[in-house]
């Protein structure tokens, strides 16, 4: 059987709505899969930004009452994606972040908001939209996971199901008394169903009941089967080892292309690395840093949460500055971490720039202008910023965790003698290891020729979606064949 259609279900898709890497992946994988002969339709919640971008939409299904209000499914296209959009104003027409209210707390009805998404997905998977019969349903993270549980407990034929985990830290855990509200039968509340430490676990249900489970790097796929990284789900993941695979993410190499990037002061490629100097100057000027052409300029583009390990940074910055270094950090997240970083920046205004917020243009300018990009995560399912850094000739300096370990080759003596190193890799969650890594970067950069070679090797690394898409396509085909057989 040849496979043609995937229903991808998610709460984000770049460039329509994005809070992190999940959005990038959901936005980019469909195009990559078309090269494998697979068409993807993506089902998203009807946030204002999604509805606003939808072209030539038609109503394909209506609900009198979906989790407390009327709703409809719209089919259309937006920014190159074939979409189904769940237009349910009582659930999604809200200001700010898709998950969190402006006061920083989760929306109180998130269980219902994403139960509705799951229910619509399960309907579509079972033929609710005339002429559309997906072979595979791919549910991304907990927000989409209920689709898999609803399909599992429904009668009749269903497509193959794939649960894709972008971050095990976000699990969607809700009170057990919601079982009926979210449309599940009493028998679903079981250890091999949606029950999760006495509550309902959306991600847990997806992991337990999907035909296949994928996550976003081979190392993370191994790590999450251990108690240390399994976040309460390692036992289940060990049980599901046979169907668990790690497939690395790629990045959109058109959006992230230093030769054509409209945000950069100067475009460049591996043969014209000298042109990066103009980007560095423009970045320093934009951020009010000293226009120092020689400083080791380190960049960070990140959510500011415990996961990312950036709380370790303030303590090591005095040493970086003593070596003449500079820091350009862009991020947002935990208020206390934002404040700590801003306080450090205030102490060294022309050496440290901390920009709080979400800013696509500055993210590109940091990648195009810094010497090194730092990712000191405690855990990292895949990580995308180090892939962007490789492509932009910003040497990645990363903790040895998850996908960071799978994508950056440490430039140790042996790697350098084999012309193989692409960055610096250090032990996670250690201030000393982070400080030593920054010292190593300074030493490596001291050898201009070898540093340039390392930048070029990074830029030649294949960070595109081509190989990951091949792996997803193979997995989808094998699953569809299994189910047909
Ligand atoms: P995560 O999904 O855990 O946030 P990833 O590295 O997988 O981390 O993906 C982060 C994505 O979000 C990258 O595309 C990165 O460039 C982008 N990003 C993160 N923080 C910001 C920010 N403050 N401004 C702009 N882009 C950001």
Torsion of CA 68, 50, 104, 71, to 10 degrees: 0
Q: Determine the pLDDT at residue 441.
A: 98
CA distance 256 to 194: 39
Using CA positions, which residue lies closest to atom 17 of ligand 1?
20
Longest dimension (CA), the chain: 68
In this predicted structure, what is the pLDDT of residue 96?
81
CA of 25 to the centre of ligand 1 (A): 11
- Ligand 1 atom with the smallest distance to the CA of 216 is 7
Residues in Cβ contact with 366 at an 8 Å cutoff, skipping those fewer than 6 apart: 283, 299, 300, 301, 328, 330, 373, 394
Nearest in space to 106 (alpha carbons), one of 164, 14, 172, 46 = 172
What CATH architecture does domain 273-460 belong to?
3-Layer(aba) Sandwich (3.40)
Tokens describing residue 447: 């050898």
Q: Would you give the end-to-end CA distance of the chain in angstroms?
A: 9
Q: Quick one: tokens of 386? A: 């180090």
Name residues whose C-beta falls within 8 Å of residue 150's C-beta, 6 or more positions apart in sequence.
118, 119, 121, 122, 183, 184
Residue-by-residue pLDDT tens, the chain, 485 positions: 466 899 999 999 999 999 989 999 999 999 999 999 999 999 999 999 999 999 999 999 999 999 999 999 999 999 999 999 999 999 999 988 899 998 889 999 999 999 999 999 999 999 999 999 999 999 999 999 999 999 999 998 999 999 999 999 999 999 999 999 999 999 999 999 999 999 999 999 999 999 999 999 999 999 999 999 999 999 999 999 999 999 999 999 999 999 999 999 999 999 999 999 999 999 999 999 999 999 999 999 999 999 999 999 999 999 999 999 999 999 999 999 999 999 999 999 999 999 999 999 999 999 999 999 999 999 999 999 999 999 999 999 999 999 999 999 999 999 999 999 999 999 999 999 999 999 999 999 999 999 999 999 999 999 999 999 999 999 999 999 998 87
Scanning 210-298, the segments in alpha helix (DSSP H) are 218-223, 234-239, 276-286
**3-class DSSP assignment, residue 9:** strand
Q: Is the peptide bond before 15 cis (omega within 30 degrees of 0)?
A: yes
Q: Which residue ranges have their beta carbon within 6 Å of ligand 1?
A: 20-22, 24, 301-303, 330-332, 358-360, 363, 382-385
- Whether the CA torsion 348, 351, 352, 355 is positive or negative: it is positive
- What pLDDT shows up at residue 104? 83
Domain boundaries, the chain: 5-250+466-484, 273-460
Q: What is the pLDDT of residue 1?
A: 46
- Give the domain 5-250+466-484 fold: Rossmann fold (3.40.50)
Instruction: For the chain, give the mean pLDDT.
Output: 97
The pLDDT value given to residue 3: 65
Distance 18 CA to ligand 1 centre (A): 9
């Amino acid at each position: 059987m040849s496979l043609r259609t995937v229903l991808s279900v998610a709460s984000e898709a770049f460039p329509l709505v994005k809070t992190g890497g999940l959005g990038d992946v959901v936005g980019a994988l469909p195009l990559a899969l078309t090269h494998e002969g697979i068409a993807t339709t993506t089902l998203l919640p009807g946030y204002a930004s999604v509805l606003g971008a939808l072209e030539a939409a038609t109503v394909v299904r209506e609900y009198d009452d979906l989790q407390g209000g009327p709703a409809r499914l719209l089919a259309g296209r937006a920014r190159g994606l074939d979409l189904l959009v769940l237009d349910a104003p009582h659930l999604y027409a809200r200001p700010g972040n898709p998950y969190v209210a402006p006061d920083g707390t989760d929306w109180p009805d998130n269980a219902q908001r994403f139960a509705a998404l799951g229910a619509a997905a399960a309907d579509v998977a079972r033929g609710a939209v005339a002429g559309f019969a997906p072979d595979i349903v791919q549910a991304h993270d907990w927000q989409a996971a209920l689709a898999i549980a609803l399909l599992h407990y429904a009668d009749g034929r269903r497509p193959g199901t794939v649960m894709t985990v972008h971050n095990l830290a976000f699990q969607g855990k809700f009170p057990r008394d919601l079982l009926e509200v979210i449309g599940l039968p009493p028998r679903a509340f079981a250890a091999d169903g949606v029950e999760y430490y006495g509550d309902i676990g959306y991600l847990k249900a997806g992991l337990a009941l999907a035909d296949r489970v994928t996550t976003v790097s081979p190392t993370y796929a191994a790590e999450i089967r251990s108690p240390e990284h399994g976040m309460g789900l390692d036992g289940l993941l060990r049980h599901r080892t046979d169907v668990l695979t790690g497939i690395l993410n790629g990045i959109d190499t058109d959006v992230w292309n230093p030769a054509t990037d409209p945000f950069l002061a100067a475009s460049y490629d591996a043969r014209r690395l000298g042109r990066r100097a103009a980007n560095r100057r423009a970045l320093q000027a934009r951020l009010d840093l000293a226009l120092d052409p020689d400083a080791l300029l380190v960049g960070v583009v990140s959510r500011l949460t415990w996961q990312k390990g950036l709380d370790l940074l303030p303590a090591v910055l005095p040493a970086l500055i003593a070596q003449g270094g500079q820091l350009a950090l862009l991020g947002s997240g935990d208020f206390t971490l934002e404040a700590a970083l801003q306080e450090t920046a205030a102490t060294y205004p022309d050496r440290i720039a901390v920009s709080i917020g979400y800013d696509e243009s500055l993210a590109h300018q940091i990648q195009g202008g810094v010497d090194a990009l730092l990712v000191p995560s405690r855990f990292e399912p895949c990580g995308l910023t180090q892939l962007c850094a490789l492509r932009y000739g910003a040497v990645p300096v990363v903790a040895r965790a998850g996908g960071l370990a799978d994508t950056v080759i440490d430039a140790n003596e042996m790697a350098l003698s084999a012309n193989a190193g692409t960055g610096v890799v250090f032990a996670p969650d250690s201030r000393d290891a982070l400080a030593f890594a920054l010292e190593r970067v300074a030493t490596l950069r001291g050898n201009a020729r070898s540093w340039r070679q390392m930048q070029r090797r990074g830029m030649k690394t294949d960070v595109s979606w081509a190989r990951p898409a091949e792996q997803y396509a193979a997995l989808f085909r094998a699953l569809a064949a299994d189910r047909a057989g």
